[in-house]
Amino acid sequence: MERGICIFKIMDIKKLLTVDGGEQEDLFGLANKVRKEEVGENIYFRGIIEFANFCEKDCVYCGIRKSNENVERFWMGEEEIIECLRFIHNAGYGSVVLQSGELQNDKFKNFLLDVVGYIQKIYPDMGVTVSCGEFEYDYYKKLREAGAHRYLLRIETSSRSLFKKLHPDGDFETRYKCLLGLKELGYQVGTGIMTGLPGQTDEDLVEDLKFFLENDFDMYGLGPYVVHEDTPLVTENVKLEWEKNRSEIFNKTLNFIALMRIILKDVNIAAGTALDVFDPLGRMKALKAGANVVMPSVTPRMYRDKYLLYQNKPCIDEDAEKCKDCMYNKVSAAGFKPMLGVRGDSLHFKS
Q: List residues near ligand 5AD by CB under 6 A.
A: 61-62, 154, 156, 194, 223, 225-226, 228, 274, 309-310
143 contacts: CB under 8 Å, gap ≥ 6: 112, 113, 116, 130, 135, 151
Burial of 321 (0-12, 13-18, 19+ CB in 10 A): exposed
Contact 128, 173 (CB under 8 A): no
Q: Which CB sits closer to ligand 5AD, 38 or 156?
A: 156
Q: Which CB sits closer to ligand 5AD, 19 or 155?
A: 155
* CB of 263 vs ligand 5AD, minimal distance in Å: 20
* CB of 175 vs ligand 5AD, minimal distance in Å: 10
Q: Which CB sits closer to ligand 5AD, 256 or 328?
A: 256
Q: Which CB sits closer to ligand 5AD, 226 or 323?
A: 226
Closest CA to 196 of 161, 144, 126, 247: 247
Distance, in Å, from the CA atom of 137 to the CA atom of 24, rounded to the nearest integer, reads 42
Q: Which CB sits closer to ligand 5AD, 68 or 292?
A: 68
- Antiparallel, parallel or unpaired: β 188-191 and 194-195: unpaired
Contact 88, 96 (CB under 8 A): yes
* CB of 128 vs ligand 5AD, minimal distance in Å: 17
* CB of 226 vs ligand 5AD, minimal distance in Å: 4
φ, ψ at 79 (rounded to 5°)? -60, -40
* CB of 135 vs ligand 5AD, minimal distance in Å: 15
* CB of 28 vs ligand 5AD, minimal distance in Å: 23
Q: Which CB sits closer to ligand 5AD, 223 or 290?
A: 223
